[in-house]
Structure 1
Amino acid sequence: MDDLETRELRYFVAVAEELHFGRAADRLGIAQPPLSRAIRKVEHRLGVQLLARDRRGVALTDAGRVLLDEARTALDAVTAAARRTRRAADPRRPLVLATKAGASHELLQRLLDLLAEDAQAAPIEILLCEVAEQAGLLRDGSADVALMHHPYDDLAGFDTEELSVEGQVAILPAKHPLAARDQLTLAEVSNVPDLPIARWPQLDGTYPDGPGPEVHTQSQLAQLVALGRTLLVIPASSRAWQWPEHVAVPVVDAPDVTTVIAWRPSSRSQEVAALVRSATALRATA
């Protein structure tokens, strides 16, 4: 029998992420022996080894890595189902729109202005987040729709409508010599010894190799640029958070960025459908 309980999936995810039974047990608030027994029962039921155990510690097998990915997805779905069910029971609830803080500011303002003119439109709550967090917020039910950006955001599994396409700019310290340029190329901004490009987490949570600082938030990044420690290349519309100590210079050969509105394909909400229609209507007035 292949059925797995959500409790068993949570146990396995904790061990797989900690790679240590003691730390996983502490994280779950249970004793280690029942945790070990639960994982062995899952392995026996599935007929596979999920974890390689030796004196050096614990490591995921190929089967374990697959179950970790699937378990995270399944647990997100369970959490989202409960959250959406509670939200659906409240007729006064607003629609939650997730968007990266500082991104697509003008587009978002135009959308909110358009909705304000429609007496039938559902109320909107704006959920500002950091880079690449929109997908998780949609999947776990925290958000109903999201403004996202191709090719940077994870759009897998969502329905989307394209809203705008734009170029990118380099955000530089105002005192840096490159800030006086009318335009730059990717090769130029990628090879500035005293100003390495900031590194954001990738879709899998890891950071790309490079000398630039690892950044987690927009405010952290803004200050590092102002201090002359890094530069970044971002969509032109993301300049909304630009500080006086920053200068934006177009990067002429950077790939275009497409802003989309995304939602779960399983959504049957008329309010979500109406919001998507309003957002796509903005294309005609752009």
Structure 2
Amino acid sequence: MDVDLRKLRYFVAVAEELHFGRAAQRLHIAQPVLSRQIRALEHELGVQLFARDRRSTVSTEAGRQLLEDARPLLASAEALHRRVRRAAHGRPTFTIAFMPGIIVTAESRALAARHPDLTVGVVRTSWNDQVEVVREGRADVSYVRLPVDQRGLRLRPLFSEPRVVVLPADHRLSGKESIDLVELVEERLLQDPDAVPEWRDLPNRSAEPNPLARPALHSVEEKLEHVAAYGGVAVLPLSTATFYTRPDVTHVPVDDLAPNQVCLAWAEGNPSPLVEEFAEIAAARYAEVTVLAGNREEADETLGDR
């Protein structure tokens, strides 16, 4: 059976909205047209995807499974479309996605030096879209911070770094050399707890008065604004916290937080040999950085013994 990508897009919109009217508005089509397309898809698959009554729309088990499989399929199709369009323009391109605190200048220059006819570009991502950029073909590779949904991806570990808590500059814990996570038990975490699972598992943590009121923050800048305004605390990788310097916030190491792992990610279906070449460049660069850091630490210890 051939899968109609248009019907799949319609299905995903309904499955995410769980409301045919809102889904139709999102897709800019009439609701009766959307309903007919979903019924046609159910007929083709031989299953019921939604249970509907006058008050609600609920995904069936088959619908939930299709949603899980449809998202990466649609992203892969979009990535294919983007690669074909880029190829049609003649000059080859390679796009590198990076997160705040991660600098990719050395790697991008190294790849450009090896391929003078290649246009190398960069795109900034966030926690929310760090893997979607490669699934959708907006970037060839992406520097990602674990954990991520690894379906349809290949990952190359690069380095790890400590995580710190970002606090208002005059916070009671400000200026401490380090703290344990339990010392933050009464604080309000501005992030989704899934991003900091150690926080979620803290014993005796007070329930938030209204967990649904957690603000939807999509950038580091937004998190820092809320921290500075006493809206809560944020846990960030050390490089991200030090990249954004401002006088009204500070950061403190947290001893019992596991380091943040940074990997290079790319789509399994990306056939470009440049991806593997760039992965080798990135891995070699961070191996060199690790060696240099180790040599500095060894030199510091030697000087300290004198």
Tell me the TM-score normalised to structure 1 length: 0.85
- When the two chains are superposed, the root-mean-square deviation of aligned CA atoms in Å is 2.4
Q: CA deviation at 1:279?
A: 0.7
Q: CA deviation at 1:220?
A: 1.0
Given that 1:186 and 1:251 are in contact with CA atoms closer than 8 Å, whether structure 2 keeps it comes out as: yes
1:185 lines up with 2:180 in the alignment: yes
Q: CA deviation at 1:91?
A: 4.4
SS of 2:26's partner is helix
Given that 2:144 and 2:265 are in contact with CA atoms closer than 8 Å, whether structure 1 keeps it comes out as: yes
Please list every run of 5 or more consecutive structure 1 residues that lacks an aligned counterpart in the other structure. none
Q: Which residue of 2 aligns with 1:232?
A: 234
Given candidates 141, 160, 164, the residue that maps to 2:159 is: 164
Distance 2:271 2:2 in 1: 28
Aligned in 2, Cα 1:37/1:113: closer, same or farther, shift over 3 Å?
closer
Aligned in 2, Cα 1:99/1:187: closer, same or farther, shift over 3 Å?
same
Q: CA deviation at 1:141?
A: 0.4
Aligned in 2, Cα 1:125/1:132: closer, same or farther, shift over 3 Å?
same
Aligned in 2, Cα 1:159/1:252: closer, same or farther, shift over 3 Å?
same
Given that 2:169 and 2:249 are in contact with CA atoms closer than 8 Å, whether structure 1 keeps it comes out as: yes
Q: Deviations over 1:59-95 (max 9, x none)?
A: 1111111112222222222211111111233443431
Q: Which moved more, 1:220-229 or 1:266-275?
A: 266-275
Letter of the structure 1 residue corresponding to residue 244 of structure 2: W
| Identical pairs, percent | 37
Q: CA deviation at 1:202?
A: 5.1
Distance 1:21 1:268 in 2: 38
Q: Which residue of 1 aligns with 2:64?
A: 65
Given that 2:107 and 2:278 are in contact with CA atoms closer than 8 Å, whether structure 1 keeps it comes out as: no
1:135 lines up with 2:135 in the alignment: no
Please list every run of 5 or more consecutive structure 2 residues that lacks an aligned counterpart in the other structure. 201-206, 290-306
SS of 2:8's partner is helix
1:154 lines up with 2:155 in the alignment: no
Q: CA deviation at 1:41?
A: 2.1
Q: Which residue of 1 aligns with 2:256?
A: 253
SS of 1:178's partner is coil
Aligned in 2, Cα 1:268/1:41: closer, same or farther, shift over 3 Å?
closer
Given that 1:222 and 1:243 are in contact with CA atoms closer than 8 Å, whether structure 2 keeps it comes out as: no
Q: Deviations over 1:215-248 (max 9, x none)?
A: 2221111111122221112211112123222212
Q: Which residue of 2 aligns with 1:9?
A: 8
Aligned in 2, Cα 1:119/1:65: closer, same or farther, shift over 3 Å?
closer
Q: CA deviation at 1:166?
A: 1.4
1:282 lines up with 2:278 in the alignment: no
Q: Deviations over 1:185-223 (max 9, x none)?
A: 11112x13xx412123858xxxx8855833222111111
Q: Which residue of 2 aligns with 1:98?
A: 97
Q: Which residue of 1 aligns with 2:20?
A: 21
Aligned in 2, Cα 1:39/1:154: closer, same or farther, shift over 3 Å?
closer
Letter of the structure 1 residue corresponding to residue 255 of structure 2: V
Q: Deviations over 1:100-137 (max 9, x none)?
A: 2x2324xx344346557x35364431111221312111
Tell me the TM-score normalised to structure 2 length: 0.80
SS of 1:180's partner is coil
Letter of the structure 2 residue corresponding to residue 36 of structure 1: S
Given that 1:213 and 1:230 are in contact with CA atoms closer than 8 Å, whether structure 2 keeps it comes out as: no
